[in-house]
Amino acid sequence: MNIDILLQTIKYITEAPYFWSTMGIIVGMCIFIGAIIFDGDFSIATKAMIGLGSYVFFVIQIQFIRITNVLANNKSGHSEPYMAYASSVTLVIISIFWIIGVILGVFISSYFHKKK
């Protein structure tokens, strides 16, 4: 996938209705999840982020290989290749916002525990 297709895919995803509000909801929910589950413990949260990151890495690798093979054989029916990559790039974007929310939740929880 070249940079032009990646930029078209990101534009296609971010222009969808309610995309940014959904990312805000994900961050907000994950702030609570990070504060409740990890309770200010950065070492456990770091392990969880590494686990999530490795999961996303392997899922994206498999999806990109599959999509590239389908597009190369022209069996997808997609006239625009950026549409084929949209689900994979969406997964990456959602995971990034999830990580941001959890880190903020752990940071906020840690801050208030230290303040006591």
Residue type for position 103: I
Q: Is the pTM of this model over 0.75?
A: yes
What are the tens digits of pLDDT across the range 9-30?
999 999 989 999 999 999 999 9
Query: What tens digit of pLDDT does each residue of 51-73 get?
Result: 888 988 998 888 888 887 777 77
